[in-house]
Amino acid sequence: MINVYVVDDEKLVRRGIIGLIDWEKYDMKVVGDSGSSEETIQFMEMNQVDLLFSDLEMPGLSGISFLVRVKEVCPEVQIVVLTMHQEFEMIQNALRVGILDYITKAQIEEENVDTFMKSVKRRYLNTRYESKVKKRTIEWHTIYIWEFADHMKHDEVTALLDKEQISYEALSENQLLFSGECNVIQLKGIIEHYDLDDSTLFEVKQVKDVTYDQLKHVLQTALKRRVFSDRRPGRFHYSYIYPKIQKERPGISREEILQMTRSTRFITDVDEYNKVLDEVKYVGLIPEERTAVFYHFNLFWSDFSGKDISCYFDEVSLFKWWYQWKVWFDEIRVGVLEKIGNIKLDPDTVDLIHKAMIYTREHMDQDLTLEDVLHLCGMSRSYFSRSFKKITGETYVTYLNNMRIQSAKSYLIETNQPVYWVAAQVGYSDEHYFGRVFKEKTGKTPKQYREKYKKQSYRKELMYGEDCHGSME
């Protein structure tokens, strides 16, 4: 049983917490409670406490100082902080001290307390396990690791393995370790039947005498990068040699990715394209970072690719592996090549015109002139104008005005800001002049456009939910 101690300076609150939770259900028992830090420290010095549920606002020693003192007295104790509100700064400081989790007192009375307590128990056991095996070494030459995507399935997965009498150790909330002597055919059959698409079975060779700490580090770094790039549809079993994979290091930086993929040569030269992507796929990014970096790549080429940038996050939301991203990169490349393929201009000129297009998009709210852009590109007026029209099909002034009006349409539909505000956002200081230009381009005043298309947009959301349908016109 896990020995629990509850601390709160209000006795009724302590009694409420103790009474509302079915502690036995989680293999726990309350061995004591108190309303002060001093009494708590004294009890812990004399008795075994495994898990502390504690408020931080108490008379005497309290807050982060109290947590630090608890850890000094009993380094092995794990702590769940009780709060009245989700106070971000205090919680962040508590997490740095090493608390297991936190919960608001109101949440204890809600139905989701069962999910929370199961998570606390699982994390408590995992943390205790990690501390025991920290310096332990692996005794087999080959091991298998089953990694499943949803850590909430931990109990379900382990129950299934127990039923099939397959021995395992928990490395983390979503990683289970099996010896090389296990029945791997049986294990693969279980995984394939249970959760093939969201599971990975690592076979790692030459790991004898490697510490568990070293193994976990490699799992979170080199192996994670490698399986991201190696993953293929319908295949979940991947074999690696530990000494070889251990030597692999993260590839290029985020900044280098963007620098290398923003060159026209990257798009037009297939060898350069494949060479750069071979580096990109091994970069050690977490999924959120990868999505952010590739968003900037998408935005950079959106003038040529035909991709609707507003749909990006919906488009890539289910991407987990490199092969999915590779198809996406290929689609962008094909779109860009179709746009510039028939333009008889050297890549450096295309890069400069593209630079002018991006600069225009980023500065269209300012008083832009052709001279500003010519200075940026270092090109003569005549050569710039000819090259710009070859690439965009428009003069620079027409391109700028069309971009401003297109952005104005989005502001009118997506915000409730007044027309003068919309005009200023897209580079028109005179609201009346903006209104005339807008009507020339769309056949409607800004107010008429907003009234018509905002209603249409609202009706589409009611019928289909939020989706990407492109421009209204």
Range from 81-85, 149-153, 212-216 carrying the lowest mean pLDDT: 81-85
Instruction: Quote the pLDDT of residue 464.
Output: 43
Tokens of 189: 């059959």
**pLDDT surpasses 60 at 473:** no
Which residue ranges make up each domain of the chain?
2-130, 136-246, 254-340, 347-464
Q: pLDDT tier at 329 (50, 70, 90 boundaries)?
A: very high
Tokens of 117: 């307590």
Instruction: Quote the pLDDT of residue 3.
Output: 95
Through-space distance between the first and last CA atoms of the chain, rounded to whole angstroms:
67
Instruction: Quote the pLDDT of residue 43.
Output: 94
How many degrees, rounded to 5, is the angle at CA 324 between CA 320 and CA 329? 125
The model carries a pTM of: 0.65
CATH number of this structure's domain 2-130? 3.40.50.2300
The Cα 82–Cα 107 span in angstroms is: 10
Range from 6-20, 266-280, 376-390, 418-432 carrying the lowest mean pLDDT: 6-20
**pLDDT surpasses 50 at 256:** yes
| Statement: 347-464 belongs to CATH 2.30.30.700 | no
Eight-class DSSP state of 62? -
| Statement: 136-246 belongs to CATH 1.10.3470 | no
The counts of H helices and E strands in the chain are 24, 10
Q: pLDDT tier at 292 (50, 70, 90 boundaries)?
A: very high
For the stretch 310-322, pLDDT in tens is 889 999 999 999 9
Q: What is the mean pLDDT of residues 329-351?
A: 85
- CB of 255 closer than 8 Å to CB of 292: no
Tokens of 48: 């075994």
For the stretch 28-77, pLDDT in tens is 999 999 988 889 999 999 999 999 998 877 766 767 888 888 888 888 89
The Cα 123–Cα 130 span in angstroms is: 10
**pLDDT surpasses 60 at 462:** no
For the chain, what is the mean pLDDT?
87
Largest separation between any pair of C-alpha atoms in the chain? 88
Instruction: Quote the pLDDT of residue 172.
Output: 83
Range from 124-133, 212-221, 282-291 carrying the lowest mean pLDDT: 124-133
The Cα 259–Cα 255 span in angstroms is: 6
The Cα 9–Cα 40 span in angstroms is: 11
